């Protein structure tokens, strides 16, 4: 079955294994768009086990072999190894790994043609669009094991070190790190701090805004870390540590009323998939400085739930869907008038016996010039990276 009758989707990777990039909030392409970072996974049926490695490398166009560069013990099916191209070092990318000798997570620097040429002492979760800053958190505290690494062992302590753990900011030029926000500050800014008593606390999903001046991230808690059923509060903060605020509280997330969050076209715009009116999912933006916020509707949603991202010029949205009737849809949304055009339908027949966090979401990504889109899909059985030249 064709993905689209109108659009010419191509398979970007070879047939000899499972290939994917990972999340939708990052750019897999290098500066001249000749190389697309990709992970080759040994399996896609279960969560990675301790010691299980995946290959980190890149693809250079259709009908060309995968170029393996290194192996990593820090990977997962949802977000890969957090691979990112460095802006200040030509032909270099980073990937998270577990240092077996030192027994800790790090981010290694790989240079094309030379190999591993350095590292950061922390795993990197996100990098600012200008390439100057990285952000990270304690991966071991993430109880949803499909979004962390097998080597990052889940702690028994429900409460972390309130003064020494939190969101860390990393200077990508020097490698120095700063604790930007600690848990004590997060609790102080929490709208219902009494709700955190006897709860397991953790952080997840750090994202930089478009001008590299702010971060958003999720502060979550649940009664039992090995059976996570969590509540979510979304925070924003300037990269100098000022203006920490809970921008969306758990009240906005209850009963699936928000599915995903990401920064938008301006430094203060946030984009979400919301079902606040209980009339189905809608794609909504708001300014994080206005509190309480005022939302603007861009379009109806496709449901159920979507990963959303604006095109580099802000004129379009990509929106995927979770599986429905055996298919996942990908839409291009006109940000001005809200018109939705389905640009691909991907067969999704992942067995129900697989753990939920090894599922294959489309996770759509734009290239920096807005002319290419890639997704991860099991349309043909194995995980593959699919490419569309949208121009």
pLDDT in tens, 324-358: 889 999 999 999 999 999 999 999 988 888 889 99
- Give the pLDDT band (50/70/90) at residue 297: very high
Phi, psi for residue 200 in degrees, rounded to 5? -85, 130
- pLDDT score, position 259: 86
pLDDT digits (tens, 9 = 90+) for 175-190: 999 999 999 999 999 9
- pLDDT score, position 300: 94
Q: How far apart are CA 278 and CA 384, in angstroms?
A: 35
Residue 139 clears pLDDT 80, i.e. is over it = yes
The runs of H, that is alpha helices, within 268-314 are none
The Cα angle at residue 108 between residues 215 and 162, in degrees rounded to 5: 45
Q: What is the pTM of this model?
A: 0.96
What average pLDDT does the segment 301-308 reach? 86
Q: Among candidates 134, 210, 130, 127, which has minimal Cα distance to 174? A: 134
Is the torsion defined by CA of 308, 312, 313, 318 positive or negative? Answer: negative
Residue 318 clears pLDDT 80, i.e. is over it = yes
Residue 301 clears pLDDT 80, i.e. is over it = yes
pLDDT digits (tens, 9 = 90+) for 232-260: 999 999 999 999 999 999 999 988 789 89
β partners of residue 334: 316
What average pLDDT does the segment 358-377 reach? 96
Report yes or no: 92 and 117 within 8 Å, Cβ to Cβ: yes
- pLDDT score, position 20: 97
Taken in order of first residue, the domains within the chain and their CATH numbers are: 10-389 (2.130.10.10)
Say which range, 71-80, 223-232, 308-317, has the weakest mean pLDDT: 223-232
Q: How far apart are CA 85 and CA 92, in angstroms?
A: 6
What average pLDDT does the segment 154-166 reach? 97
- pLDDT score, position 255: 80
Q: Quick one: tokens of 60? A: 């250079």
Q: Quick one: tokens of 141? A: 């505290």
Burial of residue 295 (CB within 10 Å: 0-12, 13-18, 19+) is middle
What average pLDDT does the segment 140-165 reach? 96
What average pLDDT does the segment 118-132 reach? 98
Residue 45 clears pLDDT 90, i.e. is over it = yes
């Amino acid at each position: 079955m064709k993905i689209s009758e109108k659009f010419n989707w191509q398979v970007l990777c070879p047939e000899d294994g499972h290939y994917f990039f990972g999340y939708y909030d990052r750019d897999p392409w290098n500066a001249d768009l000749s190389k697309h970072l990709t992970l080759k996974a040994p399996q896609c049926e279960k969560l990675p086990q301790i010691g299980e490695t995946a290959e980190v490398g890149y693809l250079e166009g259709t009908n060309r072999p995968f170029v393996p560069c290194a192996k990593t013990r820090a990977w997962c099916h949802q977000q890969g190894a957090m691979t990112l191209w460095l802006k200040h070092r030509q032909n270099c990318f980073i990937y998270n790994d577990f240092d077996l000798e030192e027994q800790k997570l790090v981010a290694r620097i790989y240079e094309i043609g030379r190999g591993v040429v350095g590292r950061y002492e922390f795993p990197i979760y996100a990098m600012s669009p200008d390439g100057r800053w990285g952000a990270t958190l304690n991966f071991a505290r993430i109880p949803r094991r499909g979004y962390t690494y097998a080597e990052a062992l889940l702690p028994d302590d429900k409460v972390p070190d309130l003064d020494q753990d939190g969101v860390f900011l990393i200077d990508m030029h020097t490698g120095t790190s700063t604790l930007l926000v600690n848990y004590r500050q997060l609790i102080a800014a929490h709208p219902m701090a009494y709700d955190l008593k006897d709860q397991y606390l953790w952080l997840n999903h750090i994202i930089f805004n478009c001008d590299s001046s702010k971060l958003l991230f999720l502060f979550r808690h649940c009664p039992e870390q090995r059976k996570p059923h969590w509540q979510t509060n979304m925070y924003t903060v300037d990269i100098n540590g000022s203006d920490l605020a809970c921008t969306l509280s758990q009240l906005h997330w209850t009963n699936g009323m928000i599915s995903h969050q990401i920064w938008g076209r301006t430094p203060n715009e946030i984009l979400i998939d919301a079902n606040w009116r209980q009339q189905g999912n809608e794609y909504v933006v708001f300014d994080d400085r206005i509190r309480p916020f005022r939302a603007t509707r861009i379009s109806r949603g496709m449901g159920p739930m979507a990963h959303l991202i604006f095109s580099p010029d802000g004129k379009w949205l990509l929106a995927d869907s979770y599986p429905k009737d055996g298919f996942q849809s990908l839409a291009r949304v006109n940000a001005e008038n809200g018109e939705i055009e389905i640009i691909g339908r991907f067969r999704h027949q992942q067995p129900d016996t697989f753990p939920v966090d090894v599922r294959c979401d489309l996770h759509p990504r734009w290239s920096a010039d807005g002319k290419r889109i890639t997704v991860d899909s099991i349309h043909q059985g194995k995980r593959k990276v699919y490419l569309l030249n949208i121009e």
